[in-house]
């Protein structure tokens, strides 16, 4: 049983004024694959390194299982880490690299060899056991790094962007392999990535970080459908959610049409205060291109075969506002065409403090015809 718990964990680097990780509260269950995601510099690596014992805590505590490990040396934490650049020992062969943690633990040579072989078989590395890391491809190196982590059977795996040095295709393939491997081994895993697609596809739960502050931890679906704030709404999903600041006017107006909300949505807006700045968000798949009261112009059309992304311009309070819609092919529109838009899916409403007020149904109604 190995759970991991961050308790008010805080880390401020020397010479910086604001914490890289600020008061982090996070519970990771036994056997869970938790993904830490966030933009560059949001503190993902720092959070992971704190768990590894490579960064000291300035405040709070970290538990692995029931043990407070805040002052425990990295090697006594029973963890294994996969680094972004793999950190393979260049002068050691693949077999020696994978056997290194075992050797340090004083595992006898025969058992070491057997365990390395077993993991090499699992990762399809048997043919390369005698090679040096520099004579391996990127994908093979990545697997060796995984192997070195697996072979010692630790309580927790830590992975810091382990796929980011692979090309796109291999990345997708390896992603699946890592998920399968983790499920099979059932070892609690903290996985860091800046790629929200990787986060959504891999994580049992996903923790979103921004500027060292945890924004939301939830299952991928929840994160997608019920983002707690504007940042999460904009960060999760590709293409990103359309986010349009509508200001403090009531009723809510966009590009000359009125946004009509469900009673629940209306109530949430009212409750937020009379002059609160409201931002409205709707995902590309919630925006229908064709007949609709909202007039817009097509900028570009991206036809991916299975789906089509339509990038649009909308005149809103004298500015060109960019929107994205997702439809299924065939799509007949061309750049420059004037089209009508309508919302057909969930609309999210965000308050002036960026928190989500409500997710509701809504539709545009032409202001002129009203």
Ligand X SMILES: Nc1ncnc2c1ncn2[C@@H]1O[C@H](COP(=O)(O)OP(=O)(O)OP(=O)(O)O)[C@@H](O)[C@H]1O
- The residues of the shown chain that bind other proteins, judged by CB under 8 A, are 52-54, 73-75, 77, 79-81, 83, 85, 87, 89-92, 100-101, 104-105, 148, 152
Residue 20 touches which of ligand X, other proteins, Mg ion, none (Cβ within 5-8 Å per kind): ligand X
Give me 84's structure tokens: 């972004």
The per-residue DSSP string of 173-237 comes to HHHHHHHHHHHHHT-EEEEEES-HHHHHHH-SEEEEEETTEEEEEE-HHHHHHS-SBHHHHHHSS
**In whole angstroms, how close is the CB of 207 to other proteins at the nearest point?**
22
Contact, 278 vs 272, CB < 8 A?
yes
Residue 194 touches which of ligand X, other proteins, Mg ion, none (Cβ within 5-8 Å per kind): ligand X
Nearer to other proteins, 105 or 317 (CB): 105
Residue 85 touches which of other proteins, ligand X, Mg ion, none (Cβ within 5-8 Å per kind): other proteins
Residue 52 touches which of ligand X, Mg ion, other proteins, none (Cβ within 5-8 Å per kind): other proteins
Residue of 2, 45, 215, 347 that binds Mg ion (CB under 5 A): 45
Nearer to ligand X, 50 or 116 (CB): 50
Segment interacting with Mg ion (CB under 5 A) among 41-49, 115-123, 216-224, 282-290:
41-49
Residue 152 touches which of Mg ion, other proteins, ligand X, none (Cβ within 5-8 Å per kind): other proteins
Residue of 16, 306, 338, 369 that binds ligand X (CB under 6 A): 16
CA separation for the pair 43, 278 (Å, rounded): 29
**In whole angstroms, how close is the CB of 44 to ligand X at the nearest point?**
4
Nearer to other proteins, 63 or 313 (CB): 63
Calculate the CA dihedral of residues 63, 65, 66, 69 and round it to 10 degrees.
-40
CA separation for the pair 253, 144 (Å, rounded): 56
Nearer to Mg ion, 48 or 357 (CB): 48
Nearer to ligand X, 128 or 191 (CB): 191
- Which parts of 29-48 interact with ligand X (CB under 6 A)? 38, 40-46
Q: Which of 41, 12, 16 is nearest to 24 (CA)?
A: 12
Give me 293's structure tokens: 């009261």
**In whole angstroms, how close is the CB of 76 to other proteins at the nearest point?**
9
Nearer to ligand X, 38 or 147 (CB): 38
Nearer to ligand X, 83 or 309 (CB): 83
Nearer to Mg ion, 45 or 174 (CB): 45
CB atoms under 10 Å from CB of 252, counted, come to 23
Calculate the CA dihedral of residues 217, 218, 222, 227 and round it to 10 degrees.
0
Q: Which of 47, 38, 151, 164 is nearest to 100 (CA)?
A: 151
Cα distance between the two ends of the chain: 62
How open is the CA angle 84-90-91, to the nearest 5 degrees? 160
User: CA 171: distance to chain centroid?
Assistant: 15
Residue 194 binding ligand X, by CB under 6 A? yes
* 33-37 and 205-210 beta bridge pairing: parallel
Residues of this chain that bind Mg ion (CB under 5 A): 45
Positions in the binding site for ligand X (CB under 6 A): 13, 16, 20, 38, 40-46, 194
């Amino acid at each position: 049983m190995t759970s991991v718990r961050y308790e008010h964990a805080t880390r401020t680097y020397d010479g910086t004024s604001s914490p890289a990780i600020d008061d982090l509260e996070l519970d990771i269950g036994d056997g869970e694959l938790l993904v830490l995601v966030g933009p560059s510099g949001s503190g993902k690596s720092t959070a992971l390194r704190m768990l590894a014992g490579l960064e000291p805590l300035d405040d709070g505590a970290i538990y692995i299982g029931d043990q407070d490990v805040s002052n425990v040396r990295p090697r006594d934490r029973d963890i294994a880490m996969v680094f972004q650049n793999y950190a393979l020992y260049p002068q050691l062969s693949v077999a020696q690299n994978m056997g290194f943690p075992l050797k340090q633990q004083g595992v006898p040579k025969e058992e070491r060899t057997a365990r390395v072989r077993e993991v090499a078989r699992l990762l399809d590395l048997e043919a390369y056991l005698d090679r040096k890391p520099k004579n391996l491809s990127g994908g093979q190196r990545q697997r060796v790094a995984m192997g070195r982590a697996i072979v010692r059977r630790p309580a927790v795996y830590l992975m810091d962007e382990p796929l980011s040095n692979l090309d796109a295709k291999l990345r997708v393939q390896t992603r699946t392999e890592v998920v399968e491997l983790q499920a099979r081994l059932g070892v609690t895993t903290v996985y860091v990535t800046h790629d929200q697609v990787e986060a959504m596809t891999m994580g049992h739960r996903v923790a979103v970080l921004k500027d060292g502050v945890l924004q939301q931890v939830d299952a991928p679906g929840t994160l997608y459908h019920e983002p707690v704030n504007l940042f999460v709404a904009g960060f999760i999903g590709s293409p990103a959610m359309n986010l349009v600041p509508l200001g403090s006017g009531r009723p809510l107006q966009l590009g000359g049409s009125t946004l009509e909300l469900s009673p629940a949505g209306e109530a949430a807006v009212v409750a937020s205060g009379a002059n609160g700045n409201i931002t409205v968000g709707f995902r590309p798949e919630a925006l229908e291109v064709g007949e609709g009261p909202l007039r817009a112009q097509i900028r570009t059309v991206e036809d991916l075969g299975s789906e089509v992304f339509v990038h649009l311009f909308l005149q809103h309070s004298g500015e060109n506002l960019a929107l994205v819609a997702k439809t299924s092919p065939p799509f007949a529109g061309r750049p420059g065409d004037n089209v009508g838009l309508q919302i057909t899916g969930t609309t999210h409403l965000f308050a002036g403090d960026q928190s989500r007020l409500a997710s509701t149904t809504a539709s545009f109604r032409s202001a002129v015809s009203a």
